[in-house]
Amino acid sequence: MASVDLAPSPVSAPTSYPSTWLRQLVSELRLVFGRRRNLAMLVLLIAIPLFIGIAVKVSTPRPGDGPPFISELTGNGLFLAFTALAVCLPVFLPLAVAVVAGDAVAGEAAAGTLRYLLAIPVSRTRLLVVKAAGVLAYLAAGVLLVTVVGLVVGAALFGTHGVTLLSGDTVSIGNGLLRAAAIAAYVFIDLVGLAAIGMFFSTLTEVPMGAMAATVVTAIAFAVLDSVPQLGSFRSVLLTHHWLDFGELLRSNIDTPSLLRWSLLPLAYAA
């Protein structure tokens, strides 16, 4: 069989290069956000803070019951965003990432469109960058929706005022909103590593469900290993080990070096 040269042909006009990237990116975003299963996952993420808020409103949780920050929720609606992120991070957000990242390349291969994308011509590097941008945009949308809906529903059900931090100090609502934005950014970075793993699996198969399942199993394996105390310090290099450590951002004296070190771990996995 004769080999096919997939190298991109010279661009006739230098000014068309950025516009080509933009067209590809817009097309990819339409594909990612236009699929029904992806939209269904976003609807599920929106529903979680709403259900948590209603459940807490009709029944007062006791200290120590439920997910982190839920006992502080009745006193300040801002904590609904933190509680919703703590609930979504171990399961729902990784599942959403696995669905989109696993389908990124394998979905094109299964549909028979991958060969045409590479023959346009489009370099493999550009294709992967655009696919990665689509996955990260979806991840950012998911984290943002959980945070914003949590803030809005929490404010409507419980009201907002000065935020009492885990260290006991009270800060203004504006400071609390800034901390909520920082927590959302931390959660986003936490999941970048899993998104990269999902895309890696997606390049190894033409079966999207296989890549999705492999990504979910990887996240579960990390979580299971992280729950074994006998592994000692080895657990600190597991992808999921610092996922719920965003509580550090709710202290008066934030341990910035530790936060930076924890944030570099998922970026290292992505690399």
Residue pair 107/101 in contact (Cβ under 8 Å)? The answer is no
pTM of the model: 0.86
Residue pair 208/202 in contact (Cβ under 8 Å)? The answer is yes
Which of 46 and 120 is assigned the larger pLDDT?
46
Residue 171 β-bridge partners = 163
| Strand, helix or coil for residue 25 | helix
Residue pair 12/130 in contact (Cβ under 8 Å)? The answer is no
Band of residue 51 on the pLDDT scale cut at 50, 70, 90: very high
Residue pair 154/77 in contact (Cβ under 8 Å)? The answer is yes
Q: What DSSP state is assigned to residue 235?
A: G
- The two three-digit tokens of residue 268, written as one number: 């290292």
Mean pLDDT of the chain: 84
Residue pair 45/92 in contact (Cβ under 8 Å)? The answer is yes
- The two three-digit tokens of residue 79, written as one number: 């904590």
- The two three-digit tokens of residue 195, written as one number: 């998104």
Quick one: CA torsion of 135, 141, 142, 143, rounded to 10 degrees? 110
Percent of the chain with pLDDT over 90: 40
pLDDT, tens digit, for every residue of 64-83? 666 677 777 777 888 899 99
pLDDT > 80? residue 238: yes
Residue 170 β-bridge partners = 164
pLDDT, tens digit, for every residue of 107-161? 878 777 776 666 666 677 888 888 899 999 999 999 999 999 999 999 998 888 8
Rounded to 10°, the helix 36-58/79-88 angle is 130
- The two three-digit tokens of residue 243, written as one number: 């996922």
Which of 126 and 210 is assigned the larger pLDDT?
210
Phi, then psi, of 170 in degrees rounded to 5? -115, 130
Torsional sign, CA 67, 71, 77, 82: negative
CB atoms closer than 10 angstroms to residue 264: 12
